[in-house]
Amino acid sequence: MIKGYSGQWYQWFEKTQKSVNWKEFEYGLSVRFGPNVYEDAIGELTKLCQTTIVKCYQERFEELANRTSGLTQGFFISCLLSGLKEEIRVGVQMFGPTTITQAIGLARLQEETTEAIARKSKTPTNQLEIGTLTLQQLMPGSLMPLEIEGIQDQFQG
């Protein structure tokens, strides 16, 4: 059973065509899923930017990359890296991936690392952590002068 968009198209194609030979079916597939004359997959690929998670970016990247031909692995790696969010791209470039599979794997790993750091660094606004010492305001709205090893600060709730 064919699923997704291709399954829907196939069911529609079967219902609307009386008798189809292989050439007509191949042509129908090409018209529906193949690139059109006006499409510039390479141009879109070079301008593609990650706006959500790496997985979504990867899917769109692969969709466009599959519509191209004659391009090198280096070109694909360069396009993929240039479109990643900066906080992910820098971590991936550091490892110098030599295949698109490595680059994608590293991007996903870097994304997980970045998210873990962001989750860990969230500190409540009324709490300050210094090493293992945690100071917390006793009453909201009160001022608490703080002086530890030359650090002076005031917290306001």
Same-domain pairing of 16 and 45:
no
* Overall pTM surpassing 0.85 (yes/no): no
Same-domain pairing of 92 and 138:
no
Total count of domains within the chain:
3
Same-domain pairing of 111 and 144:
no
Could you tell me if 134 and 124 are in contact, meaning their C-beta atoms sit under 8 angstroms apart?
no
Same-domain pairing of 95 and 140:
no
pLDDT in tens, 96-120: 999 999 999 999 999 999 999 988 8
Residue 97's domain spans which residues?
A: 40-120
Is pLDDT above 90 for 57? yes
Same-domain pairing of 56 and 27:
no
Same-domain pairing of 28 and 48:
no
pLDDT in tens, 59-91: 999 989 988 889 999 999 999 999 999 999 999
Same-domain pairing of 26 and 47:
no
Q: How confident is the model at residue 40 (pLDDT cuts 50, 70, 90)?
A: confident
Range 101-108, long-range pairs (CB < 8 A, 24+ positions)? 103/77, 104/54, 104/58, 104/80, 107/54, 107/57, 107/58, 107/80, 108/54, 108/55, 108/58
Could you tell me if 106 and 80 are in contact, meaning their C-beta atoms sit under 8 angstroms apart?
no
Same-domain pairing of 27 and 64:
no
Same-domain pairing of 63 and 94:
yes
pLDDT in tens, 21-38: 888 888 888 777 766 666
pLDDT in tens, 115-134: 999 888 875 555 554 444 44
Name the residue with higher pLDDT: 75 or 4: 75
- At 11 the pLDDT is 83
Same-domain pairing of 103 and 134:
no
- At 36 the pLDDT is 65
